[in-house]
Amino acid sequence: MGKNWTISTNNKKILKVFHITFAASMFGGLIAILVILMVKKNWNTTAENIFGVDLSILKIFTWGVNYTFFALILTSLILALFTEWGFVKYRWIIFKWVITLSMFALTWFGLGPAINGMTSISDAGLNKSTMSGEYLNFQRNATIFCVIEVITILLIFFVSVLKPWRARMVTQRIKQKTVVMIVSPLIIVGIGFTAINAIELNKIRNLPIKSINIQSVGDGTYNGETKAGSYVYKVKVEVENHRIVDIEGIDNRKSPYVSYAEGVFSKIIRQQKVDVDSITGATTTSKAFMKAVENALDK
């Protein structure tokens, strides 16, 4: 790297290879998800085997789309900062940034929640008509968002290859050092926040759940709660004839992930034990609910 903070030609080529590889990986992941979603619509799936399909979609999304997208944006940022391309010199680069950030928002707030919701509901068992209707809504949204993102990434490829617009007449350029000084702390803070959040979530996911002997629990209604992170999760558990017959979340925060995690209640009732598998897509919250049920019955 020279005095002007520019990378060499060879390093730029290597970086471009990584950038294109990440883009191709993301495109392949989206195509794979879309194909599975389309096949699943015409496939005679049942509540028992549909979760395995949804879990595959979630894994592809997490590793092939979500994480790859972060790597793609990082390589884009490095190419903009440390090559002659910059951020605003070329209209086609401005267009790519606008489309890429829009696609990131679509992935974060659209496709991701749809796939998470779909997987969480199928993991809970699809045993209620309302849940089945919500599941189909998530599946439809996931298909729509996936189609939009495939078209969008094709548009980005098209613009990257053809570079259809000339360079802008930029009279006043933002100094490279200024951009680096602004962007670097933001990246460091973002990484730090992500790491702290991951550590906190991992603590909740690894909460020990005691094995409660349901036969020793008398009939009645028991309330329990547990604190997980910044939230307190409360439940009401009803026991009849030494069996758990109903579990209800009470006065909990309003969030889709709380609704997904409540699917763990049906698992506990079916298996008549507290320590069951967490709900995929809502692992942390469902583990907190298990701890609240344990606290209720342990009384």
Q: Is the pLDDT of residue 210 over 90?
A: no
Highest mean pLDDT, choosing among 44-53, 150-159, 168-177: 150-159
What angle, 0 to 180 degrees and rounded to 10, lies between the N-to-C axes of helices 264-271 and 112-124?
20
- State the chain's mean pLDDT as an integer: 85
- C-alpha span between 209 and 297 (Å, rounded): 12
User: Where are the chain's structural domains?
Assistant: 9-186, 214-297
Q: What per-residue confidence (pLDDT) applies to 121?
A: 87
pLDDT band at 14 (very low <50, low <70, confident <90, very high): very high
The whole-number pLDDT of residue 179 equals: 66
**Is the pLDDT at 2 greater than 50, yes or no?**
no
Task: Kindly tell me if the per-residue pLDDT of 172 is higher than 60.
Answer: no
Mean pLDDT of the region 70-90: 84
Q: Which residue has the tokens 């389309």?
A: 38
- pLDDT band per the 50, 70, 90 thresholds, residue 40: confident
- DSSP string for residues in 6-35: ---HHHHHHHHHHHHHHHHHHHHHHHHHHH
What's the confidence (pLDDT) of residue 1?
A: 44
* 125, pLDDT greater than 90: no
Q: What is the pTM of this model?
A: 0.81
Spatial distance between the Cα atoms of 159 and 117, rounded to a whole number of angstroms: 33
Tell me: the pLDDT tens digits for 177-206? 666 677 767 778 877 877 787 788 788 788
pLDDT-derived band at 47 (thresholds 50, 70, 90) equals low
- Give the confidence band of 77 by pLDDT, cuts at 50, 70, 90: confident
**Architecture of domain 214-297 in this structure:** Alpha-Beta Complex (3.90)
- Identify the residue with better confidence: 190 or 272: 272
Among the residue ranges 41-50, 98-107, 149-158, the one predicted with the least confidence is 41-50
Q: Which of 287, 281, 293, 283 is nearest to 247 (CA)?
A: 293
Which residues pair with residue 221 across a beta bridge? 238
More confident residue, 57 or 85: 57
pLDDT at 145 > cutoff 70: yes
Residue pLDDT, tens place only, 93-124: 889 889 998 999 999 899 999 999 899 888 88
Find out whether 51 and 122 touch, Cβ atoms under 8 Å: yes
Among the residues of the chain, which ranges form H helices? 9-41, 50-59, 67-82, 91-106, 112-124, 129-162, 176-205, 256-261, 264-271, 283-297
